[in-house]
Structure 1
Amino acid sequence: MRIAHNITALNAWRNLNLVSSQLGKSVEKISSGYRINKAADDPAGLVISENLRAEIAGMDQAINNTQDGISMIQTAEGALTEIHSLLDSMRALALHAANTAAVTSEAIAADQQQMDSAIDSINRIATTTAYAGKKLLDGSVGKKVEIKNTNIVATASVGQANAPGISYVKVVVTTAATKANLGLSTGLHFTSAGQTVKDAGGLATGSTTTLNINGVSVTISGGMTASAVKSAINTALAASGVSIRAYFMSAGSISDFGNISESNSSGYLALVYTGGYGDDYLIDLYDSGGIIVDTGAGTFTHHARGTNIGGYFEYKRVDNSGTTYTHVNATGDGLTLEGNDDTALDGLQITLNSGYNAAATYTDVVRLYGDTTQFQIGADQGETYSFTIGNMTPSELGSDYTTNHDAGQRGLLALKTGGDYALASDPQSAIEVIDEAISDVSNERAKLGAIQAQVLESNYRNLGITRENLQASESRIRDVDMAKEMMEFTKNNVLTQAATAMLAQANTLPNTVLTLLR
């Protein structure tokens, strides 16, 4: 028998420590409800669980974001509903005014007052409807397209066009090549992907202007087609003996702007050239200001702002990074008109030379940027949805029908007092403009409704199901099985009591040595 070391007591003490530790872990798990409270409990399970927790937190925010998107659309759609009601009442007024056989001028004047008030109300709704401080119907929530700043360096002059406006173009023949740096900075804004930007200038139908070309006067009437203008110029110049000619370059075409697609803020969307390699596409340059995009005719007309430009530029193609693939080397050989025979003349390009070659580098790309409505509707990077809300202001509603843009009479504005389609002037055209506006609003509401029902609400339901499944997975990994853990707790509690009793008994064993010492 030994008294220096009580091995039996040490063994009981070690077992007591083990079961006490296990009992403590059971108490921690039962009291917290988690099987994993620290990395040591289950390192691999902790990694999976934390990843799932991050995904669940992302799902929660994505659900909130989707609800925000639904609320935004509901706000916009509610305002559009009121605009629809106003348009319906405006149409009734126009129909009443069109009944000229039974309506007095005083009644038409009263109808016009109501029409003006309704248009003002539409403008107020469109310019003030907002969600979280962002205007929804004034065109700011939509695609914006800008023309990148452009530099043109001409190494030879082939004629200078002095164009204070499309109503007067004078071409002066030069006899010596001069180097010039012509800087351009132009901009274009689309309020929605499908909008057509139309001629911001030009002659009104029925008016005339005179082109003075090298001393030869040519009279042009508003509403003439490009073909008629070409013929008039060629006829006048041929009679004067001037050796120049007018012709059209139409072998290629530019992709329809109505099909513009979404792009991030750092990328550029090229005007993709679809003609053959040898086909020329002329870009119109003059200083009346503005840009014309004619999706119906497939032409892209580029006007310089405040710069006198003479030249003949060949446009090849630009990639999505904004790189121009072709440097232009062109020879001007006559008077060139750019346009289409079957459309009214949008713009005029005059090129007149004395046998000099023109060499130029032209860089011009279209970039989509900013202010599209984008919602993060998923829990991971890139899981976004973007959409646009069209411009519902009076100047845009029904604008496909109206043409007098210079006078500020686009869209419904042409129906106001003094407008081209005021009730006293042309109630039939007013009806057509209103019908076009109703179609615009209906299409916008249908688009927003489809986005809400088929995209956002569907995504909301899917996120809820996905979150539930992720939470179940995380629970299976991290949560404690209470029944199993209570069983472990009971076992460890009994073992702790037994170990404590045995340790007490083991500590009394050395006392038996005293009987030998008596």
Structure 2
Amino acid sequence: MSFSFSLASNGAANAARSALDNTTEQLTNEARQLASGLRINSAADDPSGLAISQSLVARVNGFERARGNVQSAADAVNVADGALASVTDILTRIRTLAVEASSSIESTGDRANLQAEVSQLLLEIDRISQSVNFNGQPLLDGSHAGFVPAVAASVTVQANSVLATNAGPPGSNFGDLVANVQTIPAYQRPIYYNAVTQNVPASTAPQTVTVGSTVGLLPGDTLVPAGYNGPAIQVLGVNAATDSITAIFPQALSNGAQIRNDVNGSLANAVTPGENVVSITGTAQPLYVGQQLQLPFPPNPEVVTVQQVLGPTTFVADFTYAHSAGDYIGSSHFDGIAGGSGPGAYTITYGTVSNPSPPGQQVDIIDAGNFPAGVYIGTVLSYTSTSYTLSLPTAFPSGAYALAPVGNGTVSNTYDGSIKLQVVNTGVSIAVQESFYNTATQQQATSATLLAPGSTSALFDGVSITLGSFTSADLGSTAYVKALQATAAQENPEAPALELLAGASEGETVALSLPAVTTQQLRVATISLVAGAGSDPTLAAEDAIGQSDFAIQSVLAERAGLGAFSVRLREDESNDALAALNLQASVSSIRDLQVGAATTRFTQTRIEEQVGTAVLAQANALPETFLALFR
């Protein structure tokens, strides 16, 4: 660009001034950066850099606040754990008192004095659970229990005498008074109804025999001939590929003779409410401990559980109502299926039956026109008090009938309590007498049924017990079994878990569930060292030991959970701190000024400003040269 001399304007001065203005503006910006230490002081400095850095600053602040949340939660956990430590000490003291009261040396008055302390300690547990809080938020009263998982029923042998004979099959524990203990299975054994397809001679040796179908049959099943007029058949093995069974047949059977494993008959004797020894008509019935039998006819239909099998047709059961000799009793539903039904769901409605099979129960479905080969397996899909819906595996154009076990599988562990077994001399034989202490009612009961060596029974609370091989040398030997009932899962929508934001973003929450530690929740509210009605003054204290053990383990499990949560909180806090540090470093790399380079640029710009000022001064002097032409 060239400039000519002009009186009206000074192009050179204007150009110099423009360059000097730019230099001055740059110098001002660099001075501001050096003064603030920041490369970006406004959006004009770096629009995208400012947006990114401000977003990162927001996350840094979020992580810093999240650290505060985590620290507060850790403090709350420490408060809760301290309270639980006190509860643990109290429960340990209660257990110690229960151990003292379990000695028969202690008098009734001594136990009453011990119980006075236990009662006060139980009140203190409830006070702690109701009063412990953090920043006004209750911690141990269940207000923040959240989801509480279900607890399965359990039975545990607490003490078990080693028998003097210490005899039993290799690998067995028949050398102990209690050889085996378990809850009664929830499902009944599947019903099997079929026929042999060959002549079978009577023999005490195992025989392999073909049958119409092995569907639903299991090794160990007991079968009886149709009509229940012959001795029981013990099944040793099942071969589904050849539709054959290996079993002991004490009685000869003709080709086509029906065999089945369900109880079906009438009471041979009247029964009264309570524990009864019952006989059923017939020569043999396939009875087993835990089996559910139904007396379906009015005025008093009910389902009872076989507590002990005394013979081929005799058993022990606890009845709610009185029943007369001749009343029907059976273990299966026998229901018709209309022709043209299946495959798919099919609903059967009962008349007088009120205890249908539960979902998942196996059902034998028999094609009436193709027996004995036409036997199929269905499954109960759902049930009500008067009906059940099952799946039909195929179509039944000419009709069929279904055989389903009675019972909905709710016989196990109805109560918390303790079972005591003691070897006694009846004057006729050596037997075991079984007693039960109900924790909730604080009452004990002793069964009139005496148990023989090696027998299996379920006299109390749905607990099946198999005894060892005791003799007169074991008189006085005892065993204790602790039974705990199942508890259902609890959603607790009105008592949600505590939630805290442990990160910088929405939804980065962690939940802290704090179940109640009341005496009711710990199952110790009704423990007593003073026996209720019954003959054993120490059984209540023995039960208190078992209940205390459960409560202690529950509290320790809760403390372990809190400890694990504390570890998680420490990791959360460390992660928040590290994330904030790294993000702050990122903000610094974007916004902070590189002082060394900026100082160099500032010095250079100052020199440029000084040069520009000098040039502008000289450019302003150019018109004087033009005036010299007029001299």
- The TM-score normalised by the length of structure 2 is 0.50
Give the CA deviation at 1:96: 2.5
Is residue 338 from structure 1 mapped to residue 397 from structure 2 by the alignment? no
Question: Are the equivalent residues in 1 in contact too, given 2:70–2:572 (CA < 8 A)?
Answer: yes
- Matched AA of 1:193: P
CA apart distance, 1:234: 13
Q: Which position in structure 2 is the counterpart of 1:414?
A: 527
The code of the aligned residue for 2:8 comes to A
1:107, CA displacement in angstroms?
4.0
1:431 aligned onto 2:514: no
Matched-pair contact (CA < 8 Å) for 1:65–1:376 = yes
* Structure 2 residue aligned with 1:39: 43
In the alignment, structure 1 residue 141 sits paired with structure 2 residue 144: yes
Contact 1:87 1:438 in 2 (8 A): yes
1:111 aligned residue (106, 111, 114): 114
Does the CA-based 8 Å contact 1:126-1:392 persist in structure 2?
yes
The one of 118, 123, 142 aligned to 1:120? 123
Larger Rg belongs to? 2
In structure 2, give the amino acid aligned to 1:249.
Answer: S
Determine the C-alpha separation between the residues in 1 that align with 2:273 and 2:574.
60
2:605 partner letter? N
Instruction: Flag structure 2 segments of 5+ consecutive residues without an equivalent.
Output: 155-271, 276-293, 309-314, 334-352, 362-375, 392-400, 415-459, 463-488
Provide closer, same or farther for how the CA distance between residues 235 and 391 of structure 1 changes in structure 2, counting only shifts above 3 A.
same
In the alignment, the residues of structure 2 paired with residue 111 and residue 223 of structure 1 have an alpha-carbon distance, to the nearest angstrom, of 39
State the shift of 1:510 in Å.
Answer: 1.3
Partner of 2:380: 280
Partner of 1:501: 614
Aligned to 1:174: none
- Deviation by residue 1:166-218 (Cα, 9 ceiling, x = unmatched): xxxxxxxxxxxxxxxxxxxxxxxxxx2244599xxxxxxx9859x99654346
More strand by share: 2
Report Cα offsets for 1:133-190 as digits up to 9, x if no partner. Answer: 322212222234xxxxxxxxxxxxxxxxxxxxxxxxxxxxxxxxxxxxxxxxxxxxxx
Match of 1:193 in 2: 149
Q: Residues of 2 paired with 1:22 and 1:469: CA distance?
A: 32
Q: Is the 8 A contact 1:26 1:489 kept in 2?
A: yes
Provide closer, same or farther for how the CA distance between residues 33 and 194 of structure 1 changes in structure 2, counting only shifts above 3 A. farther
- Cα contact 1:129–1:135 (8 A) shared by 2: yes
Distance in 2 of aligned mates of 1:451 and 1:341: 38
Query: SS at the partner of 2:500?
Result: strand
User: What amino acid is aligned across from residue 279 of structure 1 in structure 2?
Assistant: T
Query: In structure 1, the residue corresponding to 2:326 is in which secondary structure?
Result: helix
User: What is the CA distance between 1:333 and its match in structure 2?
Assistant: 11
Contact 1:216 1:236 in 2 (8 A): no
Percent of residue pairs identical:
27
Cα root mean square deviation, aligned = 4.5
Report what 2:507 is aligned to: 382
Question: How far, CA to CA, are the matches of 2:116 and 2:86 in structure 1?
Answer: 19
Aligned to 1:452: 566
Flag the 1:193–1:241 CA change in 2: closer, same or farther, 3 A. closer
**Within 5 A, what are the aligned runs for 1:202-213?**
208=274
Pairwise CA distance, 1:484: 1.8
Higher helix share: 1
1:491 deviates by 2.1
**What's the CA shift for 1:68?**
2.3
Change (3 A) 1:71 1:315: farther
Farther off after superposition, 475-484 or 228-237: 228-237
* Partner SS, residue 503 of structure 2: coil
Q: Which residue of 1 aligns with 2:234?
A: none
Q: Give the 3 Å change call, closer, same or farther, for CA 314–488 of structure 1 in structure 2.
A: farther
- Equivalent residue of 1:16, what SS? helix
Contact 2:104 2:538 in 1 (8 A): no
Q: In 2, Cα distance between the equivalents of 1:391 and 1:222?
A: 35
1:86-235 alignment, distance < 5 Å: 86-101=90-105, 103-144=106-147, 192-195=148-151, 208=274, 215-217=298-300
Cα distance, 1:6 vs structure 2: 0.9
The alpha-carbon deviation at position 49 of structure 1 amounts to 1.6
Alpha-carbon deviations, 1:213-272, whole Å to 9, x = none?
6543468889979xx99997999699347999567625618xxxxxxxxxxxxxxxxxxx
Change (3 A) 1:492 1:215: same
What is the alpha-carbon distance in structure 2 between the residues aligned to residue 490 and residue 368 of structure 1? 71
- Residue in structure 1 matching 2:605, options 492, 498, 502: 492
Whole-angstrom distance in 1 between the partners of 2:588 and 2:35: 16
Judging changes above 3 Å, is the alpha-carbon distance between structure 1 residues 340 and 119 closer, same or farther for their aligned structure 2 residues? Answer: closer
Distance 1:392 1:479 in 2: 54
- Please report how far the alpha carbon of residue 113 of structure 1 lies from its aligned counterpart in structure 2 after TM superposition: 2.0
Provide the secondary structure at the position in 2 that maps to 1:41: coil
Contact 2:23/2:609 (<8 A) preserved: yes
1:368 Cα shift? 7.2
Distance 2:544 2:499 in 1: 37
How far apart, CA to CA, are the structure 2 residues paired with 1:119 and 1:248?
42
Deviation at 1:120, TM superposition (A): 0.8
Residue of structure 2 equivalent to 1:396: 521
The one-character-per-residue Cα deviations of 1:358-380 (angstroms, maximum 9, x if unpaired) are xxxxxxx9977461232222222
How many residues are treated as equivalent by the alignment?
370
Structure 1 CA distance for aligned equivalents of residues 601 and 560 of structure 2:
62
Q: Secondary structure at the match of 1:279?
A: strand
Kindly state the Cα deviation for residue 44 of structure 1 after the two structures are TM-superposed. Answer: 2.6
> Do 1:116 and 1:416's aligned partners in 2 also have CA atoms closer than 8 Å?
no
Aligned residue for 2:570, secondary structure, equals helix
- Does structure 2 conserve the Cα–Cα contact (< 8 Å) formed by 1:216 and 1:240? no
AA of the residue aligned to 2:34: I
Identify unmatched segments of 5+ residues in structure 1. 145-191, 199-205, 254-275, 286-309, 317-330, 348-364, 400-410
